[in-house]
Structure 1
Amino acid sequence: MEFKGSYVALITPFTKNDEIDEDKIRELVHFHIENGTSGIVPCGTTGEYPTLSYEEHEKVIRVVMEEAKGKIQVIAGAGSNNTKRAIELTEYAKSLGADAALSTCPYYNKPTQRGIFEHYKAIADATKFPLMIYNVPGRTGVNIEPETVLKLTDLEEVVAIKEATGSLEQMIKIQELCGDRLAILSGEDHLILPMLSIGAKGVVSVVANILPAEMCNLIKAFEEKAYDKAFELHSKLYDISRNMFIEGNPVTVKAAMKILGLIDNDSVRLPLVSQEEKNNQKLKELFLKKGLIK
Structure 2
Amino acid sequence: MISLWGSIVDLLTPFDGDGLDEQGFGDLVAWQMSEGIHGLATCTTTGEGPTLTTAEKDRLISICAEVSAGRVPVIAATGTNGTDSTIALTRMAKAAGADAVLVVTPYYSRPSQEGIYRHFEALARAVDLPIILHNLPSRTGVNLLPMTIGRLSRIASIVGICDQSSDPLRVLATARTAGEQFVQLCGSDAQALAFNLAGGQGSLSVVANLLPRVCATQQIACRQGRYDLARNIHWRLAELMEALNSDTVPVPVKIAMGLVRLGFGASYRLPLVEGTLESQRAVSAALKGLLADPFLYPVVAEKGFSLQQERLQPLEDTTCKLSRR
Fold-level similarity (TM above 0.5): yes
Q: Check the 8 A contact 2:61/2:97 in 1, yes or no.
A: no
Secondary structure class of the residue paired with 2:102: strand
Residues 192, 33 of structure 1: alpha-carbon distance in 2 compared, 3 angstrom cutoff: same
Range with greater deviation from structure 2 (219-228 or 32-41)? 219-228
1:82-112 Cα offsets, whole Å, 9 max, x none, are 1111111111222233210111111111011
What is the match of residue 186 of structure 1? 186
What is the match of residue 286 of structure 2? 286
Larger RCO: 1 or 2 (CA < 8 Å, sep 6+): 2
The letter for the 2-side match of 1:39 is G
Range with greater deviation from structure 2 (94-103 or 191-200)? 94-103
What is the match of residue 214 of structure 1? 214
Unaligned runs of 5+ in 2: 294-325
Higher helix share: 1
Q: How many residues align?
A: 292
Residue 21 (structure 2) pairs with residue 14 (structure 1): no
CA drift of 1:172 comes to 2.1
Residue 139 (structure 2) pairs with residue 139 (structure 1): yes
Q: Check the 8 A contact 2:24/2:264 in 1, yes or no.
A: no
What is the match of residue 6 of structure 2? 5
Q: Check the 8 A contact 2:7/2:204 in 1, yes or no.
A: yes
CA distance in 2, matches of 1:284, 1:292: 14
CA distance in 2, matches of 1:262, 1:138: 33
Equivalent pairs: percent with the same residue? 34
What is the match of residue 271 of structure 1? 271
Secondary structure class of the residue paired with 1:159: strand
Cα RMSD between the aligned structures?
1.5
1:44-81 Cα offsets, whole Å, 9 max, x none, are 11111111112112121122222221122101111111
CA distance in 2, matches of 1:247, 1:27: 26
What is the match of residue 39 of structure 1? 39
Residues 262, 65 of structure 1: alpha-carbon distance in 2 compared, 3 angstrom cutoff: farther
What is the match of residue 62 of structure 1? 62
CA distance in 2, matches of 1:172, 1:227: 18
Q: Check the 8 A contact 1:258/1:265 in 2, yes or no.
A: yes
Q: TM-score, normalised by structure 2?
A: 0.86
CA drift of 1:169 comes to 3.4
What is the match of residue 250 of structure 1? 250
Residues 56, 223 of structure 1: alpha-carbon distance in 2 compared, 3 angstrom cutoff: same
Q: Check the 8 A contact 1:193/1:234 in 2, yes or no.
A: yes
Q: Check the 8 A contact 1:153/1:181 in 2, yes or no.
A: no
Unaligned runs of 5+ in 1: none
